[in-house]
């Protein structure tokens, strides 16, 4: 498709977003995500798009939600402290069903933490960070090439399902540059939200069969109400228990209806493995290295790597772990994804957490030591 080039994880996100048709970025610079803002500031005006530097991350989310209401594909990027500030408006986008993409380049927390060090401490926050039940799709790439393709996919899923999508990066992937050679399968499509059917009455929050109501872009002639209050099919507030139950079940259930389209899980030598490593993001690179090394030595080790980490790939994990001797979940936190793995495995196979919280990447060496103990 194109010649090999040196591309950073952060720049790859920007290129993937642009390829999917993103034309608006609002954000507040923060290490280690700042290069994303820089690249959008450079690239968007050339394409007739808009870059806005906001006063903070609350306003950044507000701006991309507003831009998206006009039908413009919109992205913001942040890290730890900024991501915490965005949670209120992520909940708003979820219940108001406004497509938007948030790139969170994880750094070490809590609070200001270690601004230049990596972490996977936001795994649970991406899913549960807002108050109330809200849907979200979270995608965690592990190479620059994948960051390109998956950010493009994030934009498209957000448009298709009218849901906020979070691209979950980390400092290591954001800041490294690596050889990227795009192939045909990396081609990013441009998918836009479905609009109202001409001639048919428009209900902005219609209880459609596929769970996703049509979106009338502002300025296209439709007058309707968007609110963070729980609303009925017309978009106006309601506290009627039946209507409240209906919209909450539809909004929170719509992703389950399309789960095969949303999930993406990668398997490396998992079928005949005795020990299975479940890892995501940069830690999965260490895990993959261990699988490669130990397979060369004839040892039965494999890896399952959720690319879509939320909704958590319950079925893929359940199937993959069946009959294994043990499961290892390495993470750069005190144990977040391991809780999901334990929930899914439900005691069928022993699950071992391997946690590193000194600001450094889990090494292949330490994963290997644990694998060899368990073999």
Partner 1 sequence: MSKRWEVRLIGTGGQGIVTASIILAVAALREGNNVVQSQNYGPEVRGGYSTAYVIASESSILYPKIDLPNVLLVMTSTDYEKYLHEIDEDGILIMNGEQGSEPLPDNVYFIPITNIAHDELERPITANIVCVGAVVGLTDMVSEAAALAAVEEHVPAKAVKINRRAFILGVRAAREALAKREASATS
Residues that bind partner 1 (CB under 8 A): 4-6, 31, 115-116, 172, 175-179, 282, 285-286, 288-289, 292, 361, 363-365
Nearer to partner 1, 254 or 368 (CB): 368
Closest contact distance (angstroms) between CB of 358 and partner 1 is 13
Nearer to partner 1, 178 or 342 (CB): 178
Residue 185 near residue 5 (C-beta atoms within 8 A): no
Strand extents, DSSP E, the chain: 5-8, 22-27, 50-53, 73-78, 100-108, 114-118, 137-139, 164-170, 177-180, 265-268, 275-278, 301-306, 308-310, 326-331, 351-355
Nearer to partner 1, 78 or 286 (CB): 286
Phi, psi torsion values for 26, nearest 5 degrees: -130, 135
Residue 344 near residue 368 (C-beta atoms within 8 A): no
Nearest in space to 135 (alpha carbons), one of 93, 171, 173: 93
Nearer to partner 1, 138 or 172 (CB): 172
Q: 9: helix, coil or strand?
A: helix
Closest contact distance (angstroms) between CB of 3 and partner 1 is 10
Closest contact distance (angstroms) between CB of 6 and partner 1 is 6
* Angle separating helix axes 9-19 and 144-161, nearest 10 degrees: 40
Nearer to partner 1, 178 or 217 (CB): 178
A 10 A CB-CB count for 55 gives 8
Nearer to partner 1, 38 or 363 (CB): 363
Closest contact distance (angstroms) between CB of 115 and partner 1 is 6
Closest contact distance (angstroms) between CB of 217 and partner 1 is 41
Q: Concatenate the DSSP letters of all residues of 16-83 into one string.
A: HHHHTTEEEEEE---TTTHHHHHHHHHHTGGGT-EEEE-SSHHHHHHHHHHHHHTT-EEEEEE-HHHH
**Close Cβ partners of 195 (under 8 Å, ≥ 6 residues apart):** 214, 215, 216, 217, 220
DSSP 193: -
Closest contact distance (angstroms) between CB of 112 and partner 1 is 10
Nearest in space to 273 (alpha carbons), one of 327, 312, 309: 327
Nearer to partner 1, 20 or 361 (CB): 361
Closest contact distance (angstroms) between CB of 273 and partner 1 is 17
Nearer to partner 1, 116 or 220 (CB): 116
Closest contact distance (angstroms) between CB of 90 and partner 1 is 27
Q: Across-strand partners of 303?
A: 268, 277
Closest contact distance (angstroms) between CB of 291 and partner 1 is 9
Nearer to partner 1, 115 or 195 (CB): 115
Token reading at 144: 């620059």
């Amino acid at each position: 498709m194109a010649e090999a080039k040196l591309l950073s994880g952060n720049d790859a996100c920007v290129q993937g977003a642009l390829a999917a048709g993103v034309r608006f970025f609002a954000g507040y610079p923060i290490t280690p995500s700042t290069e994303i803002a820089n690249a959008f500031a450079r690239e968007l005006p050339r394409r007739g798009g808009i870059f806005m530097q906001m006063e903070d991350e609350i306003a950044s989310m507000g701006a991309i939600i507003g831009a998206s209401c006009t039908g413009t594909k919109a992205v913001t990027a942040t890290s730890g402290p900024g991501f915490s500030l965005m949670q209120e408006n992520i909940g708003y986008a979820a219940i108001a069903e406004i497509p938007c993409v948030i790139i969170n380049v994880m750094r070490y927390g809590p609070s200001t933490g270690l601004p230049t060090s990596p972490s996977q401490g936001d795994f649970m926050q991406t899913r549960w960070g807002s108050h109330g039940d809200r849907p979200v799709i979270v995608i965690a790439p592990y190479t620059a090439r994948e960051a390109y393709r998956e950010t493009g996919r994030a934009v498209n899923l957000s448009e298709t399902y009218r849901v906020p999508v979070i691209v979950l990066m980390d400092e290591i992937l954001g800041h490294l540059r690596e050889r990227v050679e795009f192939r045909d399968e990396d081609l990013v499509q441009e998918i836009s939200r479905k609009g109202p059917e001409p001639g048919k009455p428009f209900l902005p929050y219609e209880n459609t069969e596929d769970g996703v109501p049509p979106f009338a872009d502002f300025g296209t002639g439709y007058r309707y109400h968007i609110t963070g209050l729980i609303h009925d099919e017309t978009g106006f507030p309601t506290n009627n228990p039946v209507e409240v139950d209906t919209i909450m079940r539809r909004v929170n259930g719509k992703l389950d209806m399309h789960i095969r389209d949303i999930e993406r899980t990668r398997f490396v030598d998992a079928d005949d493995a005795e020990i299975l490593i479940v890892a995501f993001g940069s830690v999965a690179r260490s895990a993959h290295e261990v699988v490669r090394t130990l397979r060369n030595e004839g040892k039965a080790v494999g890896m399952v790597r959720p690319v879509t980490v939320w909704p958590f790939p319950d079925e893929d994990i359940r199937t993959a772990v069946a009959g294994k001797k043990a499961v290892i979940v390495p993470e750069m936190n005190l144990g977040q994804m391991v809780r999901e793995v334990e929930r899914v495995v439900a005691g069928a196979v022993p699950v071992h957490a391997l946690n590193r919280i000194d600001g450094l990447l889990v090494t292949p060496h330490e994963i290997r030591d644990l694998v060899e103990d368990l073999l």
